[in-house]
Structure 1
Amino acid sequence: MTRILILVGSLRAGSTNRQLAEAAVKLAPDGVEVVPFDALADIPFYNEDIDVEGSVPAAAAGLREAARSCDAFLLFCPEHNGTVPAVLKNAIDWLSRPRGAGAFGGKPVAVVGATFGRYGGVWAQDAARKAASIAGGKVIEGLKLSVPGSLTRFAETHPADDTELAAQLTEIIAGLHSHVDEAAGATQLLSDAARRH
């Protein structure tokens, strides 16, 4: 079973990005579990003084544990003033530490999102991809979805019931799943080669 962890960069209960995340959970195919992490609001801003073994804030420790137990990440990124929302960037910062051994661990990452504006938040999503990559994730550049005009588009239709979006989200989830399978296959080959020598 492939486990994909969802991080949503909006805290608003009715946000369109949260609705997109709900759709992703519903659309997960057999063999894939899509799990949202819902405690980003409880994580303090990253501060090395409080990132001390044995006393890491509970919500941050929970995020790291959820990240370590997943196989891939799906980030839902709205756009705040042209860039990544602070809550999502803060999660990436926590997952980037300790330096060189962060919880992203080279796992596949896809970034998608929706905004009211006409470009669908591409600036913010590109910034999130950059941050996640530097933090140690393996960002899959081909897996993208930027939804413009979201408040109008989802005014009466949930994203899960939007045929076009449902198909696109399903494709992104399947793409993450295939990259997890590829990584597992490569790891097995290396392990087999090491045993032969």
Structure 2
Amino acid sequence: MEPKYDGEAVYIDSNIVVYRSSNGKFGVIDIRNSKIRIPDKYDEVNCMFSDSLIEFKYKGKYGFVDKKTGKELVAPKYDYVVNSDYFENLVRVIINNKCGLINKITGKEILPVKYDYDSFTSGYYYGNGDILIEIKLNNKIGLVNRNRVVVVKPIYDEIKGIGEGIVTVGINGLYGFVDARNGKIAIKPQYNYAGIFSEGLAPVVEGIW
């Protein structure tokens, strides 16, 4: 039986049809039984969001529909959904100016929505293509790796960069060094200035300069 709906199909998959009704809203129909899974209520849809999810907007909030079942997998709760330049298959999600990461294949939350808005937007490459990405919590900066492990806790005021696997960090006006592999302090913050390691050395200034 052909599914019936008032409007036009905007996306057809093996199991579902996403349609736009004559009122301009979007809904989802299950092709297998011609039943309306989700009535025409969505304001926007992004059917190309991922291979398994459709992104939708409802009353100013974003959520996700499972392409296979047509069911609403994640209720509309995000203010923004933004692609990440540093994580494959992960996207930044924003609620009340707080940021987290979700898996764009499953919709599951990977890192909680608690970090500052501009987290996950800057990265530092080092070694053989390794990278650490900035996270911010209450205006303090830390670093997370591509496995979403928080390597450097967000307690620092400044991160100058990474050289030879060592992160140059600043806190309370003093600078020191942290191991990029495990977040352990290599040299505690004690300098009035510190640069980035190169060829085994990093410039530092102790005292007034």
**TM-score bucket of the superposed structures, by smaller chain:** under 0.3
Q: Which structure has greater helix proportion?
A: 1
Structure 1 or 2, whichever has the larger Rg, is 2
Query: What TM-score, normalized by structure 1, do the two folds share?
Result: 0.24
Query: What TM-score, normalized by structure 2, do the two folds share?
Result: 0.23
